[in-house]
A and B are shown apart, each in its own frame.
Chain A
Amino acid sequence: MMFGMGILKGLWVTLKNFVTSYFCKPGSGGIFTVQYPEERCAEFENFRNFPFLVYDGSPDKIRCVACGICERECPPKCISITMATDAAVPNTVDQKNIKVGAGKPARRPEIFNIDYSLCMNCGMCEAVCPFDSIYMDHAFETTAMGNRTDLLKHKEDLLKSNDYFLKVRPTLAAAVTEKRRIAEEKKRAAAQPPQGPAL
């Protein structure tokens, strides 16, 4: 082959790519990058970024019971949880003059912090949570405008509604919601007194 043909062939390839990038569809050689932030690519449902906490209805109905399993299993140890304790019932004391109910552990978190600067988005917390409470989010624009402590997210920042969960990860969220609904119904049925035939 004549010396220099390889270069000419290569130049032909680059010229062809230059032309097709303008005149072809994205699937067949055209540009498929988008002009972020004006345009955005569709998100994959399974995309995982940072964890968030799910609540049902209102933010005080948090699913998390502060069991601490995710805290223990998190590989980079970015979660820290403190369980809430019940406040004393007002104007009640027991025989030893101690306020009733004070300091009794409540099954909800008082502090639930996730340090986003440590989190490595592995999804371990999601996998181990037995209460369908913590899931991986799609929100990736989590810039901290101030210093690094802005990346330490508190319970209030992490709480998101089940509707949001249904929106970002529809298949998984629908399955979880259905599972919880069935469990709830079973619980209710069990709580009701058995109605045997009247004797």
Chain B
Amino acid sequence: MANTFEIKQTENPSMLEINFGPQHPSTHGVFRMNVMLEGEKVCALKPVMGYLHRNQEQIAENLPYAAIMPYTDRLDYINAMSNNFGYALAVEKLAGIEVPERAEYIRVIMAELTRIVNHMAVIGFLLNDLGAFFTPVLYAFREREKILDIFEEVSGSRMMCNYFRFGGVKRDLTAENLAAIGGIVAKLPAFLDEFEALLTKNEILCMRCQHVGVLPADFAINSSITGPVLRASGVNYDIRKVDGYSIYNRFDFKIPLGTKGDVYDRYYVRILEMRESLKILKQALSKIPQGEILNKKTLPLLKMPRNLKPSVGEAYARIESPKGELGYYLVSDGTPQPWRYHVRAPSLINLTVLEDICLGQKIADAIIILGSIDIVLGETDR
């Protein structure tokens, strides 16, 4: 590959081009950064994506709607449940399928548990990038494992859940499952307090993260950044509130906001979001009704997935995935397969500001800025 920075290098021959990744533990997968350094300062940064490209959108356009569900698990492989959620919403919008009450509650419970799982993983790996080698990440994974056990018990798989169905969910939560989730929800605040005692006021963390990688609010909006990264910059935008999809308008929760938009704010917003998710979970667990978990009309579709032929049209459904706005765009031409299937992946779009917020920072800080943006390459490259 030709030198990406030929022009800059000729301007200043003391610059050094460094190639980060794709096999680098701090790039969270197979992400590659071409960095121009002057000393330790980043002068230019070019993200190179596509190493995990699996042609998901084209594959999906040749499959019946139901068979795409397991592929959505593999987009953002940490948050299979919320990926399922977005896709199920899109197809339900396209085909006009209603979802029973209990299924809606189960969906919200699963989506919020996923948010906790994701934020734990992100914060853990961010601390890994900072040099706190695997202690915080293992504390976080200890709690995450309990949630993954619930996922495995109800869906059959820890990470590739494939749990949502059009018009409901695959399997009902038993009383024991609900009790187990209740137990996790009751114990997590104590863990979060401990986690915060370890991290939030830690001087090293503060000095490394504060005033690093500042993303101004107006720039974040202009670059269509979403999710915790946007909210850390102080923009009150959460699709759970703005769109009120599913039954989120019934729950009482706040949107935690940052002030400066630096790495520390992005870390702290995620901690606060976990606490808000626990609030939602508590309310959902106390209010979950008995009843159907799958719309009766879509029950035959489980056996005969090719019978789902939405009428000609298009639909776009979006959810607040733990990483940002996850949208699915579907165009139907009346056949069992979608004519067009597109994923609006938050990881990809949040990554576009990487160069702008890394410029002028040290190379070691570029790593934590990347970590704080929270990308998953399965979703970025699709």
Binds A, one of B241-249, B300-308, B310-318: B300-308
* Closest Cβ–Cβ distance, residue A77 to chain B (whole Å): 10
B154-171 residues at the A interface, CB under 8 angstroms: 154-157, 160, 162, 171
* B198 interfacial by beta-carbon distance below 8 Å: yes
- Tell me whether chain B's interface is mostly helix, strand or loop, or mixed: helix
The A/B interface has a contact count, at CB < 8 Å, of 77
B191-241 residues at the A interface, CB under 8 angstroms: 194, 197-206
* B152 interfacial by beta-carbon distance below 8 Å: yes
Contact of B154 among A4, A10, A46 (CB under 8 A): A46
Contact in complex: B304, A10 (CB < 8 Å) = no
Contact in complex: B70, A4 (CB < 8 Å) = no
* B251 interfacial by beta-carbon distance below 8 Å: no
Most buried by B among A3, A122, A130: A122
CB neighbours (8 Å) of A127 from chain B are 302-303
CB neighbours (8 Å) of A136 from chain B are 156
Contact in complex: A123, B162 (CB < 8 Å) = yes
CB neighbours (8 Å) of B71 from chain A are 75
Contact of A122 among B70, B145, B199 (CB under 8 A): B70
* Closest Cβ–Cβ distance, residue A165 to chain B (whole Å): 15
Interface residues on A, range: 20 to 34
Contact in complex: B160, A14 (CB < 8 Å) = no
CB neighbours (8 Å) of A48 from chain B are 156-157
Contact in complex: A9, B197 (CB < 8 Å) = yes
Please name the residue on chain A nearest to B191 by beta carbon: A29
A49 to B303 alpha-carbon distance, docked (Å): 20
Evaluate whether A46 and B201 lie within 8 angstroms (CB atoms) in the complex, with A73-B67, A121-B160 already known: no
Nearest first, the 8 closest Cβ-Cβ pairs linking A and B are A122-B70, A6-B201, A48-B156, A75-B67, A6-B202, A13-B198, A10-B198, A46-B156
CB neighbours (8 Å) of B133 from chain A are none
A14 to B70 alpha-carbon distance, docked (Å): 39
Q: How many residues on the B side are at the interface (Cβ–Cβ under 8 A)? A: 39
Contact in complex: A17, B139 (CB < 8 Å) = yes
A24-62 residues at the B interface, CB under 8 angstroms: 32, 44, 46-48
Contact in complex: A122, B162 (CB < 8 Å) = yes
B interface, CB within 8 angstroms of A: 63-64, 66-71, 74, 135, 139, 142, 145, 149, 152-157, 160, 162, 171, 194, 197-206, 302-306
Contact in complex: B67, A120 (CB < 8 Å) = no
A interface, CB within 8 angstroms of B: 1, 3-7, 9-10, 12-14, 17, 32, 44, 46-48, 73, 75, 120-124, 127-128, 130, 136
Evaluate whether A124 and B70 lie within 8 angstroms (CB atoms) in the complex, with A44-B152, A136-B156 already known: yes
Contact in complex: A73, B157 (CB < 8 Å) = no
Most buried by B among A10, A121, A124: A10
CB neighbours (8 Å) of B70 from chain A are 75, 120, 122, 124
CB neighbours (8 Å) of A17 from chain B are 139
27 chain-A/chain-B pairs, Cβ below 8 angstroms: A3-B203, A6-B205, A7-B202, A7-B203, A9-B197, A9-B202, A10-B199, A12-B197, A13-B194, A14-B135, A14-B198, A44-B152, A46-B152, A46-B154, A46-B155, A48-B157, A73-B67, A75-B70, A75-B71, A120-B70, A120-B74, A120-B160, A122-B70, A122-B162, A127-B302, A127-B303, A128-B303
CB neighbours (8 Å) of A9 from chain B are 197-198, 201-202
A163 to B174 alpha-carbon distance, docked (Å): 26
CB neighbours (8 Å) of B145 from chain A are 32
Most buried by A among B69, B70, B74, B206: B70
Question: Given A6-B205, A10-B198, A75-B71, list of 4 further CB < 8 A pairs?
Answer: A48-B157, A73-B306, A75-B67, A128-B303
A73 to B66 alpha-carbon distance, docked (Å): 9
* Closest Cβ–Cβ distance, residue B29 to chain A (whole Å): 19
A132 to B44 alpha-carbon distance, docked (Å): 59
CB neighbours (8 Å) of A124 from chain B are 66-67, 70, 305
CB neighbours (8 Å) of B200 from chain A are 6
Contact of A46 among B153, B194, B306 (CB under 8 A): B153
* Closest Cβ–Cβ distance, residue A153 to chain B (whole Å): 20
